[in-house]
A and B are shown apart, each in its own frame.
Chain A
């Protein structure tokens, strides 16, 4: 059966627009109306004594970003783990090349001093 038989493209985009419009306008409609006491940080009724917004050291961001990259790259290892038995030696070599590249990247980061906490 042709996909087009039951998927009128217009309805698709109309549906898309409706969902997008609904979410967009909903957040406009029900957005909170702030007043001075509403925007105070809530600390059990006691006025806050220290600045609420704390500046984080830029090092946190660096470490977090490096973590994201390596963490996501590891997602590729799961499919390989599932099929490794069928892939045999070739699969193992491919896996090792991949892991070696990651280790090389880690060594690069290490040598550049991005892992040091300044």
Chain B
């Protein structure tokens, strides 16, 4: 399927001029897919490491949309935002891995459903 085949689906304008490169709608569809995939992962996975992986998907789907929008509007704001998101994501994951290592050292089960010393 070429991008031209998508025209009846998303409207001709979204496909745009082939010379212009990848159209916005495709960025958004992939980004939305990644986001929902990340949400599915967050809801179905129980291992903290896999949960972090899913969170990375969520954040990076936003990054893809940011860059796509930024190109569409021809501004640099989105690129700056994406850079900030990347750094924040790294910081978050490092804290997360640090906690996982600490849990591992305490020899606790790495399963958030089994973490139930608190109830109520």
Check A42 for interface membership: any CB of B closer than 8 A.
no
Per-residue B-contact encoding for A14-25, CB less than 8 Å = 1, 0 else: 011111100110
Check A117 for interface membership: any CB of B closer than 8 A.
no
In whole angstroms, what is the CA distance A1 to B14 when docked?
Answer: 11
Question: Using a CB-CB cutoff of 8 Å, which residues 1-57 of chain A contact chain B?
Answer: 1, 5-8, 11-13, 15-20, 23-24
Tell me the number of A-to-B contacts counted with CB atoms below 8 Å. 83
- Assess the B40–A24 pair: CB atoms within 8 A: yes
Check A79 for interface membership: any CB of B closer than 8 A.
yes
* Contacts known (A7-B11, A76-B83); A19 close to B29, Cβ less than 8 A: yes
- Assess the B35–A16 pair: CB atoms within 8 A: yes
- List A contacts of B34 (CB < 8 A): 19-20
A6 nearest in chain B by CB position: B11
Residue tally, chain B, CB below 8 Å to A = 32
* Contacts known (A72-B86, A75-B86); A19 close to B33, Cβ less than 8 A: yes
- Assess the A6–B13 pair: CB atoms within 8 A: yes
- Assess the A20–B10 pair: CB atoms within 8 A: no
Residue tally, chain A, CB below 8 Å to B = 28
* Contacts known (A73-B87, A76-B87); A17 close to B11, Cβ less than 8 A: no
Binding site for B on A (CB under 8 A): 1, 5-8, 11-13, 15-20, 23-24, 58, 61-62, 65, 68-69, 71-73, 75-76, 79
The 10 closest A-B pairs by CB, nearest first: A16-B32, A19-B33, A6-B11, A15-B29, A20-B36, A72-B90, A6-B13, A20-B37, A6-B14, A16-B33
| Besides A15-B10, A65-B97, 20 other A-B contacts (C-beta < 8 A) | A6-B14, A7-B25, A11-B9, A12-B32, A15-B29, A16-B31, A16-B32, A17-B33, A19-B34, A19-B36, A20-B34, A20-B36, A20-B40, A24-B40, A61-B97, A65-B98, A71-B90, A72-B90, A73-B87, A75-B83
Binding site for A on B (CB under 8 A): 9-14, 24-25, 28-37, 40, 80, 83, 86-87, 90-91, 93-94, 97-98, 101, 104-105
Instruction: Write 8 A-B pairs (CB below 8 A) sorted by A numbering.
Output: A6-B10, A6-B14, A12-B25, A17-B32, A18-B33, A24-B37, A62-B101, A76-B87
